[in-house]
Structure 1
Amino acid sequence: MMFAVAMTFIDQTIVAIAAPDITEELGLTTAGIRWVVNAYLLALAACFALGGRLADIHGHRRVTLIGTLIFVTASVLCGCVPAGEYAQAWMITFRAVQGVGAALLFPAALAVVTAVFPVERRGRALALFFGLSGALTAIGPLLGGVLTAWTWRAIFWVNVPVALVAVVLTVLARIPDTGRRERLDIPGAVLVALGMALSVLGLQQASEWGWASPATWGCVLVGAALLVVFCVYELRVPAQPLIKLRVFRDRAFSADTATVFFAMLAFVPLFFFASVYAQVSLGKSPNEAALYLLWFFLGFVIATQIGGRMLDKRGARPALLLGSAIGAVGFWLWSLKLTDLSFSAQWPYVVLAGAGIGLLLAPASTDSVNRAIDASYGEVTGITQTVRNYAAAVGLAVYGTVLSRVTVDRITGTLESRGVPDAVAAEAAQGIARTVAGHGGGREPLAGEGPVGEALRDSAGAIRMDFAEANQWVFHGMALALVAAFLCALAHPGTRVTAAGPGAPAPGPGGPPPEPPKAPQAP
């Protein structure tokens, strides 16, 4: 299962590094390459809930294999895109198909791991699962830089050998594949897919359309309304709804889900904002920026294993509280060091921020899955992953708007102090903000012609500092998101799931977990 999900996590970040080469060879527009990146994430967010339910109905192993085959087929077709007028539509279409394959694959794979490990060992197992998946997300940009040096098409073709290994291991593992004779709630699936797709689309496009645009708010509000209609409809479905919303009556499940939501406001957007900060303010190459992020995942991977053991021994609440507190402190201290423009002054806080996220992520996710009604692990995994993706979209949109606005204000002031006319300074500052928002597009953000270009080059040091100060606002926001996660963790009742069922009190620090009842011996 870890081999299977490896592809989906790498592909969330690997394409952004190859974006300049893809744009140049295929002649894509700026909006086109943005859609190549976003189409995958949009389809992923829209289809997660459906993928989880299909896994429960048709069997986790079977849906894992189907999702893997869809994903790798779409990857091959992305890598084989022909140059010409249809290249942009081709790439966007098959990137979306990749997202659908990943939405089938991930909930099913996580449900397999959940089902085959007993509850008293599940924390450590899923800690390894989430630790690896998080590390692979960070490796994506680094791997993308290496493969793009050969050809950008290799970033898609690399999925083929990984998928072959995943399929062979899945077959050899003899995973039980017991589906359920239940109907699929098609109206519910359509409602949640449209609601998620429209709301995430509005958030993704907010930086391009603008927050004052009717299109932005139309997508967000219509999508949110459809999600409300979906919830009302699901509560009234007499039998076999797409999602059993009564699981939210479990206070621990609701606390887990809310904690994950706020943690994801910091975790997923970090890949973009820290990478761009490293390239613009620290002057790093894309590959060096990827190495910068690996320090975050050093803390993340180690703390994930600790969090899993804490869950097995003491329940989720201690790990959630400790992780969110450490993460909030780590992000806040990291933000204060951004203006030093020196990685050596930042790395302890980078590791600390990663440790905080790692400590809470696996316990919150595992504890929520443990509380699935009727062991509907795929369904609950679909819920938690939908929440994660929605939080990521919100974080990217909100932080991106804050970063762009503060960047424009500060760079405009810097250029005006160098004698650049107000209107020209504002236009140049907005151009830099647009370049940065698109991952730079392979261009030097401080490039330009004539007097403005000369002013940009003369002010390079001050502008890099301006961008670092703008990023401080983003990292302050991430720290506050972890504070909100801490408050949600306080609402966790401290009960834990054992082999005897949910609701048992978590033992104190000095007491061992309760022994699960022994299964009766067969005659």
Structure 2
Amino acid sequence: MSGTHLGRGENASVNRPAPRQTLALAAMMFAVSMTFIDQTIVSIAAPDITRELGLSSSGMQWVVNAYLLSLAAFFALGGRLADLYGPRRVVVIGTVVFVVSSVLCGCVPEGDVAQGWLIGFRATQGFGAALLFPAALAVVVAVFPPDRRGRALALFFGVSGALTAIGPLLGGWLTSWTWRAVFWVNVPVAVVALILTGMAHISDRRREGTLDVPGAVLMALGMGLSVLGFQQAWAWGWDSAATWVCIAGGLLVLAVFVRYERGVRQPLIDLRVFKDRAFTVDALVLFFAMLAFVPLFFFASVYAQVSLSASPNQAALFLLYVFVGFAIASQWGGRILDKQGARPALKMGGVLGAVGFALWAGKLTDLSMHDQWPYACLAGAGIGFILAPASTDAVNRAIGPSYGEVTGITQTVRNFAAAVGLAVFGTILTHVTNSNIVKTLEGQGLPSDVANEVARDVSESVTGTGDSRPPTGTGTSDEAMRDAMDAVRMDFAEANQWVFYGMAIALGIAFLCALRHPGGRAAPAEEAAEARTPTPTPAQPG
């Protein structure tokens, strides 16, 4: 690979058999499939997990978000480690960390330790995924020559992204047996991935350099603080100093991280890549698209089970509408990318996504699952036109070409956006649900203090946010609770409209960002480097 410095890792493997490309691609797709499935599979099981373990209402959202936040915070680190120590080695380590964490999540004991146990091992699961994904991409790049790499990357991104659809379906089926199986299912997948990795005889290519530990710490701290502030805003209050200390403090730490990286000789993230306007636009479009994409599964799943009285299996089928549109648009977007570049696909995705989410929001209060499918498909198509084209276009603009570093940047953006979206939309959903239920109960003649107490308990229990605790000393009756649960279906649907309109706005902003894309096709970085290198002129005799 032009511009890639190979170290002793390659020399040590000169005598090893040549990489078996099909096996290598299959191994990496099996490995990363776990990371995509786990972004969505837990959402379906959320009500069962909360009920059996007795989690606090904020605890369940942290179970979902700890994975996303850890994945975002350490993704760039995973890409850098793959460059320094060899992608095959990092894939194996990441897979082992991921699957051990998955087993421990499934073995969570009941009682007071349950919440901390589950959140903690979801975070280490995210760390394993952060090691695994960029290293897996680096393997695909290393074993395929430039003339075949485009097709391999399209398959890698397309199939891996589509596997997100399996999460809700698999989660619904497994939850009918036990919710613990949504974690244990990763074990056979990991075993197959490790066996195929060994059979593929993948050589480890290393780059000389050092690890930017201070940069990794600053990134993790900044992201963690900011998401903590957004997520706890409901429990602490938007007028709380703690909320704004976390949000502002996290953003300040991220600003310090950017300033620090500019002065480091071998930074965790090479910020020079943002000088390419197309790459910057790709990153912005991915950010606003991902504000909606992963959070959608959590909110739509809970909406289906609360407002539509759906079972976990039915909720999974409800989400399948999104993936029908997503799958079709992903293929179409890939063809557009190959022929015209990323800009047309990103613009089309922004428009379709904004319109789809807005129309879907308007239908939520009809409380009919089957009437919503055209709008769910349209919203999914908008996301499908964006994710693969923007990700591939960004990777093709790698510096050096350091695919590990550049993929680390784009995936960090994606997962940080998903964590922020889940936190912000969760806070909005809880606040609006609570207000709606209070109005409903007061309209039924309940005293204001009782209505507020019941509304808080009910809204937190169905949204998975806040700081739930049983009502004490308020005179809350069983009849009042039954009235609240009867009313909550429509109140919760109306609250979800705010979330889905917010997602429509996010896709609208993605469209506006796409207008700034310069257009044109981006060749893989080494092809571009070769094109820029002048052909030597033969020396003339004499």
Normalising by the smaller structure, the TM-score range is: 0.7 to 0.9
SS at match of 1:408: helix
1:76 positional shift: 2.3
1: CA distance between counterparts of 2:162 and 2:234?
28
Q: Does 1:39 align with 2:48?
A: no
Corresponding residue of 1:456: 484
Equivalent residue, structure 2, for 1:394: 420
Query: d(CA) in 1 for partners of 2:457 and 2:367?
Result: 23
1:159 aligned partner, one-letter code: N
Contact 1:276 1:439 (8 Å CA) reproduced: no
Answer whether contact 1:134 1:297 (CA < 8 A) is retained: no
Cα deviation, residue 175, structure 1: 3.2
Is residue 2:208 matched to residue 1:181? yes
The answer on whether the counterparts of 1:496 and 1:503 sit within 8 Å (CA) in structure 2 is: no
Partner of 1:137: helix, strand, or coil? helix
Paired position in structure 2 for 1:204: 231
Matching residue within 359, 362, 365 for 2:391: 365
Q: Is the 8 A contact 1:252 1:495 kept in 2?
A: no
Report the CA distance between 1:428 and its aligned residue: 2.3
2:376 is the counterpart of 1:374: no
- Backbone CA RMSD of aligned residues: 2.9
2:305 is the alignment partner of 1:291: no
Superimposed CA distance per residue, residues 225-248 of structure 1 (whole angstroms, 9 cap, x where no aligned partner): 1111111111112x2211110110
Unmatched tracts of structure 2, length 5 or more:
1-27, 468-475, 537-542
What is the 5 A alignment of 1:208-227? 208-227=235-254
Aligned partners of 2:87 and 2:135 also within 8 Å: yes
C-alpha change, 1:381 and 1:430, in structure 2 (3 Å) is: same
Amino acid at match of 1:179: R
Structure-2 change in CA distance of 1:493 and 1:311 (3 Å): same
Matched, 1:73 2:100: yes
Within 5 A, what are the aligned runs for 1:4-83? 4-19=31-46, 21-22=48-49, 28-30=55-57, 32-82=59-109
Aligned to 2:187: 160
CA contact (8 A) 1:495 1:503 kept: no
* Native 8 Å contact 1:307 1:362 kept in 2: yes
Q: Find the aligned partners of 2:43 and 2:118 in 1 and give their Cα distance.
A: 14
CA contact (8 A) 1:130 1:304 kept: no
Distance in 1 of aligned mates of 2:29 and 2:460: 37
Q: Is the 2:80–2:404 contact (alpha carbons within 8 Å) kept by the matching residues of 1? A: yes
Q: Which whole-Å CA distance do the structure 2 matches of 1:70 and 1:231 have between them?
A: 29
Q: Secondary structure at the match of 2:522?
A: strand
In structure 2, the residue matched to 1:507 is: none
Deviation at 1:468, TM superposition (A): 2.0
Task: State the partner residue of 1:509.
Answer: none
What does residue range 401-416 of structure 1 map to in structure 2 within 5 Å?
401-416=427-442
CA distance in 1, matches of 2:246, 2:375: 37
1:186 Cα deviation after fit: 1.6
Q: What SS does the aligned partner of 1:346 have?
A: helix
Does residue 1:480 correspond to 2:505, yes or no? Answer: yes
Q: Residue 278 of structure 1 aligns with which residue?
A: 304
Tell me which residue corresponds to 2:446.
Answer: 420
- What amino acid is aligned across from residue 227 of structure 2 in structure 1? V
Aligned match of 2:364: 338
Structure-2 residue corresponding to 1:133 = 160
Code of the residue aligned with 1:164 in structure 2: it is V
Q: Which moved more, 1:20-29 or 1:150-159?
A: 20-29
Q: Deviations over 1:177-204 (max 9, x none)?
A: 2110111112212211221222223233
* The 10-residue stretch of structure 1 (362-371 or 333-342) with the greater mean CA deviation from structure 2: 333-342
Residues 31, 255 of structure 1: CA spacing in aligned structure 2 closer, same or farther, 3 A cutoff?
closer
- Once residues 160 and 417 of structure 1 are traced to their aligned partners in structure 2, the CA distance between those partners, rounded to angstroms, is 52
Deviations 1:29-66 (A, max 9, x none): 55555544433233222211111111122122221111
Separation (CA, whole Å) in 2 of partners of 1:32 and 1:470: 21
The percent of aligned pairs where both chains have the same amino acid is 68
Whole-Å separation in 2 of the counterparts to 1:440 and 1:143: 28
Q: How many residues get paired?
A: 499
Q: Is the 8 A contact 2:175 2:312 kept in 1?
A: no
- Distance in 2 of aligned mates of 1:126 and 1:421: 61
TM-score (structure 1 length as normaliser): 0.87
For the structure 1 residues 180 and 301, does the alpha-carbon distance in structure 2 shift closer, same or farther, using more than 3 Å as the test? same
Residues 119 and 266 of structure 1: is their aligned pair in 2 closer, same or farther, counting only changes over 3 Å? Answer: farther
1:11 Cα deviation from its structure 2 partner: 2.0
On the 8 A contact 1:127/1:304 being kept in 2, the answer is no
Q: Structure 1 residues 260, 492: CA separation in 2 closer, same or farther (over 3 Å shift)? A: same
Shift of 1:256: 0.4
Q: Deviation of residue 427 (structure 1)?
A: 2.5
- Partners of 1:126 and 1:308 within 8 A in 2: no
Within 2, Cα distance between the matches of 1:463 and 1:62?
Answer: 51
Among 181, 196, 201, which residue is 1:169 paired with? 196
Whether the 8 Å contact between 2:44 and 2:298 is mirrored in structure 1 is no
The one-letter amino acid of 1:453's match is: M
Aligned partner of 1:113 among 136, 140, 148? 140
Q: What is the alpha-carbon distance in structure 1 between the residues aligned to residue 111 and residue 495 of structure 2?
A: 40
Letter in 2 for 1:401: T
For 2:496, give the aligned amino acid.
N
C-alpha distance after superposition, 1:99-157 (max 9, x if no partner) = 11111001111233344455666555444333433333333233233323333332222
4+ residue stretches of structure 1 with deviation over 6 A? 500-504
**Distance of aligned partners of 1:82 and 1:346 in 2 relative to their CA distance in 1, 3 Å threshold:** closer
Note if contact 1:46-1:192 (Cα within 8 Å) is conserved in structure 2: yes
Shift of 1:498: 2.0
- 1:465 equivalent to 2:490? Answer yes
- Answer yes or no: is the 8 Å Cα contact 1:123–1:308 preserved in 2: no
8 Å CA contact retained: 1:310, 1:316: yes
Match of 1:384 among 410, 413, 421: 410
Query: Structure 1 30/329 Cα, relative in aligned 2: closer, same or farther at 3 Å?
Result: closer
Larger mean CA deviation between 11-20 and 194-203 belongs to 11-20
Separation of aligned partners in 2, 1:61 and 1:466? 50
Question: How far off its partner does 1:416 sit?
Answer: 2.1
Distance 1:117 1:424 in 2: 65
Which consecutive unaligned segments of at least 5 residues does structure 1 have? 442-447, 505-514
1:495–1:502 Cα contact (<8 Å) kept: no
| Deviations, residues 357-388 of structure 1 (Å, cap 9, x unaligned) | 10111000111111111111111111111111
Amino acid in structure 1 at the alignment position of 2:519: G
Q: Is the 8 A contact 2:76 2:408 kept in 1?
A: yes
